[in-house]
Structure 1
Amino acid sequence: MKYFYIIGFGLLMCFDTLAQISFKYASIHALPLTFDLSWLTRIFSHPWIYGAFIGYIGAFFTWMSLLKHAPVGPAFAASHLELVSVTLLSVWLFNEPLTFIKIIGALFILIGVLFLAKDESEHELSFSIDQKL
């Protein structure tokens, strides 16, 4: 079951990251904003909008599959790991600055996920010991 979580949350992070990065690229290609038929045609002629759709649909089905088995607390925290991956990719792809605040925020996210995962594993261990007694 451990590998199910690792693969599942890794896949969720990939789908969420794909969606966010694709929306960023789609928004760049959407300029100038004119809100007419030619603007809609321009948006839907770029593959990035479809990457965003694929990312969101994939994330939805992955999340629903994970929720069948994963505890909600750690699952909700782990579902936000894409904030770290999107931040790092945005620095590389879009030349966005990597500020001290972003680094601290990413560290807090990672630490929070680790603490919740550790707490849940300790809870499962004590629950299985209680059942055996």
Structure 2
Amino acid sequence: MASRPHQPPPVLRALRPRSGRARKDEAGEGRMSALAAHALPNRWRQVLIWTAFIALDTGTQIAFKWGADGLTDLDFGVEMLTRALALPGVWLAALGYVGTFFVWMAILKDMPLSRAFPMTGLAYVTVPLLAWLVLGESIDLTRACGIGLIVAGVIALGGESKDA
């Protein structure tokens, strides 16, 4: 049996930009995949991927907080770790990190790290906002100003470079 070339997981194949070209199926016949026929323009694809990344990353942090709130009476140690494994928030957070990892790989496939990494700073905006909405945490003036500076930095560092 001949070995097949390495194929990325389906979620990454679905996020890959498609050209309108037909590809060959296993029988060698040309066909156009359903995803290639309906592929999003690259700009919208990036918006979709970044939205997924920020949503997963933000949700993961909220899930960690939900899990950690179930451990407030324990010091770090084996008992705390054992109890953490029984908490749904911890499991949701772990799954969120797995999802975030795959979306991050899709981002890095198409974008230089020096441009992509600063954009992850958007989570420093969305996490406090969701913590305020969902967990009732406060955002004082100093924190709000810091969030504004982060947004400005993301715009400055993550935008299209004219010399790139």
When normalised by structure 1's length, the TM-score is 0.80
Secondary structure at the counterpart of residue 84 of structure 2: helix
Q: Which has the larger radius of gyration?
A: 2
For 1:56, the equivalent position in structure 2 comes to 97
- Does residue 45 (structure 1) correspond to residue 76 (structure 2)? The answer is no
Question: Residue 80 of structure 1: SS of its match in structure 2?
Answer: helix
**Structure-2 separation of matches of 1:64 and 1:104:** 31
Query: Comparing both chains, which one has the higher relative contact order based on Cα–Cα distances under 8 Å and sequence gaps of 6 or more?
Result: 1
Greater helix proportion? 1
State whether structure 2 residue 40 is matched by structure 1 residue 7: no
CA RMSD in angstroms comes to 1.9
- Unaligned runs of 5+ residues in structure 2 are 1-41
Match of 1:111 among 152, 159, 162: 152
Moved over 4 A (4+): none
Amino acid at match of 1:23: F
**Structure 1 segment 1-133 matched on structure 2, within 5 A:** 1-33=42-74, 35-37=77-79, 39-120=80-161, 122-123=162-163
What code does the residue aligned with 1:24 have?
Answer: K
> Structure 2 length as normaliser, TM-score?
0.66
Shift of 1:43: 2.2
1:44–1:115 CA distance, 2 compared to 1 (3 A): same
